[in-house]
Amino acid sequence: MALLEIADLTFELAGRTILDGITLSIERGERVAILGANGSGKTTLAQWLAGWLPNVDHAASRGKLTFDGREWKDWPLPQRAAAVQLVGQLPVQQLSGREFTVRDEVAFGPGNLGLPVSEVSATTGEVLELCELTHLAGRDPFTLSGGEQQRTVIASALAMKPRLLILDEPVTNLDPSASEHIVRLVSELPPDITVVWLDTSPKIAIEFARRFLLLRNGKCVVDGSPCQVLLHPESLATITLPPSAQAARLAAKAGIWPDGLPYPLTLQEARVRFEQVKHDQS
């Protein structure tokens, strides 16, 4: 059984269809990137994946989502919190607003689960180290930079030891160095954690995701390998390609990229294929 299964999920808000018949399944340990333009339904889908939806005010018009075979509404809160964590794009909105140090912020979730002090302390220490936050452990989370705050939020999510980690445009507001830090962190996560990364561009997810999906107007229009999805005509019309693929596309427009040769998506592919093109032309 897949870890997460969505069958024909349709969700409307204020008379507008936000998610339109989404059907997909995610296996344990998968690294999935869901791409889509602004307003394509990524954040709403992330909230469904994380169990923030449905809630008392909002329900699906059709279809359902199950995690480990059960719908989120059947999960008691502590079990759900230990199963899935969502990290959004504005870290300041996700800090608890109750803890005065980074260490206590990270320990907040495990503390809420009522775990023994030794376990909370050990988990907090491990996660602070993993997220390179040990030197900031005594700082007030609200005084950190955006990148440090986002790492604190990710650390707080990891401290819950989730089986599924959802990251919804986590580096949108960060500078390149802070983004790189987050990507390295996500790339090095233990393989048993399933990661779903939602973004407008594949630039970062290409580093670690092995499966891509394209969301357009609330519908999942393409689902497959990075090559299948990113070079699909729907994707070319919707999202920004990685720089290497953009360069190849420009070369194709200029007539110097051979027909049938796939655009390179990573630096390694770019090196090989541009060498090949150079060799063919000489």
Partner 1 sequence: MSSLLYRTEKGWLGREHPLTKLCLVLWAVSLILIVPWQAAAVLAALVTALGATLDSGISWLKRWLLALTPLAISLFIIHVCFLHPPDLLWFGLIPVSRRGLLESVSLIARVAFALGVFLLFLTVTHPSALLKALDAKKVPPGLSYVLASPLLLLDLFAERARSIQAAQQTRGLSLAQSVLSRLLALPALLVPLVTLGLMDNHSRSAALTGRAFRAFPYRTVLSPPPDQPHGPILRRILLAATVLQGGLATWLYWK
Q: How far apart are CA 140 and CA 104, in angstroms?
A: 10
Distance of CA 97 to the CA centre of its chain: 24
Select the span of 56-64, 118-126, 181-189, 262-270 touching partner 1 (CB under 8 A).
118-126
Exposed e or buried b per residue across 219-252, where buried means at least 16 C-beta atoms within 10 angstroms of its C-beta: bbbbbeebeebbbbeebeebbebbebbebbeebe
User: At 86, is the secondary structure helix, strand, or coil?
Assistant: strand
- Asked if 49 touches partner 1 (CB under 8 A), the answer is no
Of residues 11, 43, 30, 17, the one with CA closest to residue 198 = 43
For partner 1, the closer of residues 89 and 235 by Cβ is 89
* Torsion angles phi and psi, residue 58, rounded to 5: -130, 135
- Asked if 101 touches partner 1 (CB under 8 A), the answer is yes
For partner 1, the closer of residues 55 and 225 by Cβ is 55
Considering only residues 155 through 184, tell me which ones interact with partner 1, judged by CB under 8 A: 156, 160
Quickly count: other Cβ atoms within 10 Å of residue 21's Cβ.
15
Q: CB of residue 15 vs partner 1: minimum separation in angstroms?
A: 20
For partner 1, the closer of residues 50 and 185 by Cβ is 50
Select the span of 34-42, 58-66, 87-95, 255-263 touching partner 1 (CB under 8 A).
87-95
* Interacting residue with partner 1 among 2, 7, 37, 82 (CB under 8 A): 82
- Pair 87, 94: CB distance under 8 Å: yes
- Asked if 138 touches partner 1 (CB under 8 A), the answer is no
Judged by the rule CB under 8 A, the positions of this chain that interact with partner 1 are 47, 50-52, 76-78, 81-82, 85-86, 88, 90, 92-101, 103-104, 107-117, 120-121, 124, 140, 142, 156, 160
